[in-house]
Amino acid sequence: MPDILSPETLNYLNSLPREENPLLKEMEEYARENYIPILDKNSATLLEILVATSKAKTVLEIGTAIGYSTIRIASVLPDEGKVYTIEKSTDMIPLAEQNFETSGFSKKIVLLKGDAIRKLLNLNVSFDLIFLDADKQDYMRLLEFSLPLLKKGGLYITDNLLWQGYTSSLEEPPAKYARSTVQIREFNNIFFNLKSLRTSLIPIGDGLGIGIKLTEIGEDNMSGLQFCYKNFNAITAGRLEEAKDIYSLLELALESNLEKDFVSLCFDAKYMIGLGSSIAKAEENPEITGYGTMRDDLNKTILKFLQCLKEILSEADEDIQLYFINKYLQQNDESDEMEDLLRLVNDFAEFKIILNDIKRA
């Protein structure tokens, strides 16, 4: 395995005398014995120093595990400070909760249980410092969804950017690390190139990235769909007939990384409506013939639209799937479902106009 620090430097760092908190020591041992990846203790001390010197009051952590870094953050927050920490693993959550209780810092900790993307989409809190330490394949999207919540002058800290030395190594990583190494390299290319952050990489632990936010909240390059989700009521006010359902589909698409499918639904809906009205005009005019290709095109687009809808729904809970299937997808020409589906298509076409307006603005 390639080194981040030379073995001598690492040994020296780890041998420096320091006062050890018994709970943290116990947690470090538990993590080692149970192969739970927690923050390296030298990185954790630096994180504490950054939280304290930046005078952060509200911190967001993505990836709690057993709560080791959460407790270290909470320990240096002022009395009125809060660290919001997000964890999706039902194995980790009870362990973290127990450790928070034992630490005596539970009043400063808000544990958000579930997938971070969903939590971030619905979090209306602004933060002084964000610490990202979750699954590597999610890093890019978690950065995209969390950065808009960081205040100007706030710190964005993220672990594992040197990924056990594989990120910078010229040798091929072992198969087990091949994909994650590519993902971290791609992440670093984005993280170090963001206009909204001035960023550095500190080669301790597993490589700690630190960026200071240069832009105000609201000036971030949020994706059009994320913006629509956060401002849904304001931007759609009165323009959609099935607003609640469009909102659910947008939420599912954002959570499941299916934004392209959502945008496709908007494009296809607009195209279908255009084709439909051209065919209707042609049918009224006996002089126009040969509009069969338009019909073929319409049929193909309808199939594509339904396919995208099913793709997004495949990520939904069973009750949501059933609701959409019953309302929109069990059609026969006589039934109400056809009218429901037409309304949904009209709404997606309207959403395409909304997206165009946002892009222009």
Letters for 122-141 (x = contact with ligand SAM by CB under 6 A, - = none) are -----------xxx--x---
Residue nearest to ligand SAM (CB): 63
CB of 133 to ligand SAM, least distance (A): 4
Interface with ligand SAM includes 148 (CB under 6 A)?
no
Contact window for ligand SAM (CB under 6 A) among 32-40, 73-81, 269-277, 348-356: 32-40
Q: Read off the tokens for 253.
A: 């698409």
Q: Is 86 in the site for ligand SAM (CB under 6 A)?
A: yes
Piece in contact with ligand SAM (CB under 6 A), picked from 8-16, 81-89, 212-220, 266-274 = 81-89
Residues 157-216 that bind ligand SAM (CB under 6 A): none
- 312 lies in the site for ligand SAM, by CB under 6 A: no
Residue with tokens 């981040």: 4
Q: Which stretch binds ligand SAM (CB under 6 A): 8-16, 86-94, 204-212, 273-281?
A: 86-94
Q: Which stretch binds ligand SAM (CB under 6 A): 15-23, 84-92, 267-275, 305-313?
A: 84-92
Q: Is 65 in the site for ligand SAM (CB under 6 A)?
A: yes
What is the closest distance, in whole angstroms, from the C-beta atom of residue 201 to ligand SAM in the complex? Answer: 18
Asked whether position 59 contacts ligand SAM by CB under 6 A, the answer is: no
When binding is defined by CB under 6 A, the residue of 21, 52, 54, 115 that contacts ligand SAM is 115
Please count the other Cβ atoms lying within 10 Å of the Cβ belonging to residue 184: 25
Are 315 and 258 in contact, with CB atoms under 8 Å apart? yes
> Least Å distance between CB 138 and ligand SAM?
5
Q: Does 89 bind ligand SAM (CB under 6 A)?
A: yes
CB count within 10 Å of CB 53 equals: 10
- Tell me if 40 contacts ligand SAM by CB under 6 A: no
For ligand SAM, the closer of residues 93 and 316 by Cβ is 93
Determine phi and psi for 204, rounding to 5 degrees: -115, 160
What whole-number distance in Å separates Cα of residue 79 and Cα of residue 107? 9
According to the binding rule CB under 6 A, does residue 93 interact with ligand SAM?
no
Judged by CB under 6 A, does residue 87 bind ligand SAM?
yes
Q: Is 69 in the site for ligand SAM (CB under 6 A)?
A: yes
Rg from Cα positions in the chain: 25
Residue number with CB closer to ligand SAM (128 or 245): 128
- Kindly tell me the sign of the dihedral angle through the C-alpha atoms of 213, 214, 219, 223: negative
Nearer to ligand SAM, 229 or 328 (CB): 229
Q: Which of residues 226-245 bind ligand SAM (CB under 6 A)?
A: none
Both structure tokens of 47: 């994180």
Could you list the residues that contact ligand SAM (CB under 6 A)? 37-39, 63-65, 68-69, 86-89, 92, 115-116, 133-135, 138
